[in-house]
Amino acid sequence: MLRLEFWLPLPLLGLAFWVTTGLVTEHSFKNYHQSVESFNITPAQAQPSNTILLIKVKVDRDRNFSQVKVKQATQVYQNQEFELATTELEQLETAISQKLSLSPEKVRQLLRYEIQD
């Protein structure tokens, strides 16, 4: 059978273990917060031009309107569609750049035309 000499030091060992692990944990958390730099993304930093992959314009000269499809890469792929009441290419580029808040140069890079007569 186990004697008193065995049972007496057990509470002292438990207390020592508890204090030691508490100190180690506190030290780890203090060092963690000092080494972590915050990284914040604000909506002002987001650039919509980077998310637009393609602008496809279907020009219908018989009906005098153009159908615009915009493919965007956000967390999921999104498609946006709208119609413009013009078939002139310069007017289309200007209207699209205003609607999407992009520069005309960026719109020209992303544009693909399909012209129907």
Residue 41 lies in a domain: no
- Side-chain-side CA neighbours of 96 within 13 Å: the count stands at 34
- Structure confidence by residue, pLDDT tens digits, 15-61: 999 999 999 998 887 776 555 566 666 665 455 545 888 999 999 98
Residues 10 and 65 in one domain: no
Are residues 30 and 50 part of one domain? no
Question: How many residues are there in the chain?
Answer: 117
pTM of this prediction?
A: 0.54
Q: Which structural domain range is residue 95 located in? A: 46-116
What would the mean pLDDT of 113-117 be, rounded to a whole number?
Answer: 83
DSSP state of 109: H
pLDDT in tens, 73-102: 877 778 889 999 988 888 999 999 999 888
> Six-digit token pair at 78?
């999104």
Structural domain includes residue 40? no
User: Tokens 């792929």 label which residue?
Assistant: 77
Number of structural domains the chain divides into: 2
- Tell me the CB-side half-sphere exposure of residue 110, using CA atoms within 13 A: 24
